[in-house]
Chains A and B, each alone.
Chain A
């Protein structure tokens, strides 16, 4: 149990285009999901907290107009990188907060999405 999926796993896009990344909790409901960014050999950097049915909460320094987050249901959150530029190239990871999994009150992570902007 407590499986989180992400799609796509790998995306290449041209500079100026938008890219949407989906995060799904497959076997549990998640009222809260989190979006992280990670550079090679570094720790995870929290970008935003996504709450079902309400606006996302962004961490300081994260451009909310550039990284649009929508948490449309209890099992799906999306991150859209708008007008992507090469500096947005990174590894994006989502997690879902499980209250019914084992163990509970734990974040479960998706497999990540590699974004390359040319």
Chain B
């Protein structure tokens, strides 16, 4: 079974600053994906970024980037130039590769961006 751990329940960052959200996971699978999802106050789950385990290059999406350390089973999310709209709950998630696989979520972290 897979586990995803987000040990920080809350974080706060000043607007325009950079913040890093931590995530570790445990699995015996060799082929898998890792995700960060954002859930703003509207509660709509939004895909932020996706990483394939077989890729050594870290995924990036505009202001969002990850630090994927496969050996350490670590998958942190860096948000650069934080904006007020980044205020949300962020979930790290694991999914085994293959059609119709389940997602395993971490407990989430609440990020507040201060003006």
Contacts and interface: CB of A to CB of B under 8 A. Distances in A.
Contact of B106 (A41, A43, A106, A111): A43
A106 B100 contact: no
Interface residues of B, number: 25
Q: Is the interface of A mostly helix, strand, loop or mixed?
A: strand
A5 to B, nearest CB: 11
Interface of A: 31-32, 34, 38, 41-44, 46, 49, 51, 91, 93, 95, 97, 99, 103, 105-109, 111-112
A105 B33 contact: yes
Contact of A32 (B46, B100, B110): B100
Interface of B: 33, 35, 37, 42-47, 50, 89, 91, 95, 97-103, 105-108, 110
A1 to B, nearest CB: 12
